[in-house]
Every structure is written in structure tokens, then in C-alpha cells.
Amino acid sequence: MRLIGIDSPEVRDPRTPMECFGREASARATELMESSEVWLEYDDTQGRRDRYNRLLAYVWLDASTLVNEVLVSEGFAYEYTHNAPYKYRDSFQEVEQSAKKAGRGLWQDPACSARR
């Protein structure tokens, strides 16, 4: 599955080395979703599957906790717009700016030498 609207550091792509902050981002995503009942929301602007046949979705823990957004707001992922704007893009961009200003996660000094 791929979470809509985010790009987190790679940890499992056999073609590339693990990216900076990848372990931390993967651990946080696992922590949020492991042992939790979640529900998925699809977005017609993004389709149901990507070119690798991964399911595209927003992952909700409860009515007010969107995993995709939490990962961006805590600095474990970047906001990512692929081809077309998506439903929560403005919010994700806003929380990314807050994470940058606060130096959270990927944005902490010196978490990663190359930042987007």
C-alpha cells in the first residue's frame, strides 16, 4: 500500500540504499498502525492503485487521526503531490511547513544533510 500525499524515506527499495531517517520513519508508521484497527479512504483524483499495483489510500486510526497527515506533521514524511492535487493537500502542506519551522523529524538539525 502507498499512503496518498506523502513521501517517506526509503528503507526497502533493493535498488537504492536506505535513505536518511528511513528507519525512524518506518518505525513511526509501524507504531501508529500496528495493533490498531484502521480504515481506508480512497481518493478518486488519485485512482485506487499506482503503477506498481499498490493500493492508494488515506489511513485513519479514528475520526480525527489521519496517519498520512501525522507522519508529515511529525517530520517522518514529506508532503508529496503526484500528478494531481489530492483531497488533503493543503492541510499536508501546512503541517509540513510547521514541522520544518519547529525542526521536527527530518527537519531537525542535523537529521539529514540533504533536505528537500
Catalytic residues, which ones?
Answer: 2, 10, 54
Print burial letters for 42-59: b (CB count within 10 Å at least 16), e (below 16).
ebeebeeeeeeeeebbbb
Q: What gap in Å lies between CA 96 and CA 76, rounded to an integer?
A: 10
